[in-house]
Structure 1
């Protein structure tokens, strides 16, 4: 694929539709599903709003795939609902025009990418020209006539995304869409997904294990573990924690005096290290105001924030399906 052409793509792209995208809200409410003795999902509830990108995160075995399959009508939940503007997938009059999904890449290796898409167009009653339009959208315009069996993993992911876009859907459900993409492709995907949500008003739900990339792409995060909701909210909400208490790093040549002044107001000092204090439960403005009132010079004052990876591991600790020993730790003797 021509990298210069990929870099030069604009996100204000043709979608093959002149109609405005209908805002569609996705709701998962009390969703419960078991497979025999395995409780895959238990009383799971969350929403995905139009015009936004929501990250769907959790360890392997947390219930993400089960939830997505229930949302798309591929399995029937034991209890609860999964709906699009209140309607389950099976009740949608034209599902392909409402929901586009990438759960896995499946195609005939002898068919070209273009013919693969044209088969779907015929089955859905869409104009065949739509296949060429979405190929251009995902950067496969020049590769569309090549056999899909010769595509790289990243190109297969793009073809799967093109398939999801065929019906010009209001909702996109994407499971690991960046798998196999190179750094340039991941950067393109990030901008493309945000364009679809923010500029075109689509509803985008993305499941991924690339936490650093999710943090740069999504507006909200839903984290699940052991089939249950662990936490949901914006990154700011996740960083602040349930009690809303923030953490502030402040440096001063009079750190001991500043600590005493802060403690007079009931402020908690989490740690003291030389000229640095870590303060909890206060904003930088509050700490700065107290220092100013006491006439204390400050050299640094900033809110500390955790990245998504740190937050994720704290929230899902102990919920991994497969936990390997840490490097250098003693391991159990292999059973014979």
Structure 2
């Protein structure tokens, strides 16, 4: 247990003032605006939205500014704010096949049906510092004319042809199409079904999920993944108001979606085919969506009768520890006063040492020649 600090209000207020000064930095330098962060630090904002479990680029940028760029603290702030919001309605399932694409790539098709769309990505750049960025206002590189005139890639689903041939498992709802659990209202109970697992991973810490996904590639699970399709774009959000019997469009959100495919040699109940791992996150977050898809697949070991031999296949290990907000709270609370607990353990250590010394004093002396 820990106890609250009594007194010290002036010290706490001074600490807050120092925090505000540290956040502002050198006042001779122009202050970063929320608009700048939302527009120019999109990947950081996307990560905060995903782990904060709230799609709002402006508020995520505000949280990032308040947290001095600490993505975990920013997600904490955003999720805390989220708890104050009323739930007004439930949206209809998102149709990601109709995504308005910014980027769409596949590692398994030489000629992707509908075309590849490279979009904004660091995949095709050298990992060298660009010193031109030290000069504000430097002109942007001009787009080649071919890129300006290139038609948009078709949306749809790149894996549909394989599914039609029975070479990959179909993407269909489970038997009975049960309503998915809501992990934000009901505490997770293990074992979680796939819908619950995907919810937890969608807002899990990216670094943790990346490590778990990487472990599956290093031999800690029986998988051989391929990047089936990775896409980035905007998806329409619809809901059905109580007074209407049809869906209306209320806006759109940016999403990153990934489908990994893995070889499966078959079982007594299923033929040899490719199986799927799935990842979906707010904003532009390819690395997390890919890691999520890797982990999703290995967590399906029971479905395919596979042996569970690796940490990434244990959902009670992977999922709870992946929550950056809970993990941060548990670790950082150790900075708070623990005087009572420490004093009790200190007394215990002293008692044990006294008992050990008493036993040593009462023990017979060793005989010497």
TM-score where L is the length of structure 1: 0.21
TM-score where L is the length of structure 2: 0.19
